[in-house]
């Protein structure tokens, strides 16, 4: 089954993650266009355990984000 931003990726970002990234990086994790435009950077930070700043995602969540990116980042 294909991975979509609205159904699968957006719910992974907590409200505090959205707020933090707006302040730190200047993009909005709650907006498809911003996440799509910054997907490579986001995946790099997620894979390194550097995002979110209070502790990295579980491997299955990182894998889901990676799959979404590799499948073409459907909305």
**6-22: pLDDT as tens digits:** 999 999 999 999 999 99
* CA 46 to each of CA 1, 18: distance values in angstroms, whole numbers, following the listed order: 22, 14
Q: Residues with Cβ < 8 Å from 14, sequence gap 6 or more? A: 52
The continuous run of DSSP H or E covering 46 comes out as: helix 39-47
Mean of per-residue pLDDT scores for the chain: 95
> Is the pTM here over 0.85, yes or no?
yes
Per the structure, the complete domain to which residue 15 belongs is given by 5-70
Q: Is residue 36 part of a domain?
A: yes
Q: Is residue 58 part of a domain?
A: yes
DSSP structural state of residue 28: -
Domain tally, the chain: 1
Q: Is residue 50 part of a domain?
A: yes
Determine if the peptide bond prior to 67 is cis (ω within 30°): no
Q: Is residue 33 part of a domain?
A: yes
């Amino acid at each position: 089954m294909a991975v979509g931003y609205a159904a699968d990726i957006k719910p992974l970002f907590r409200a505090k993650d959205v707020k933090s990234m707006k302040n730190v990086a200047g993009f909005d994790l709650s907006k498809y266009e911003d996440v799509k435009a910054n997907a490579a950077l986001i995946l790099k930070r997620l894979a390194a355990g550097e995002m979110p700043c209070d502790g990295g995602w579980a491997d299955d969540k990182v894998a889901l984000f990676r799959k979404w990116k590799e499948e073409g980042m459907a909305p």
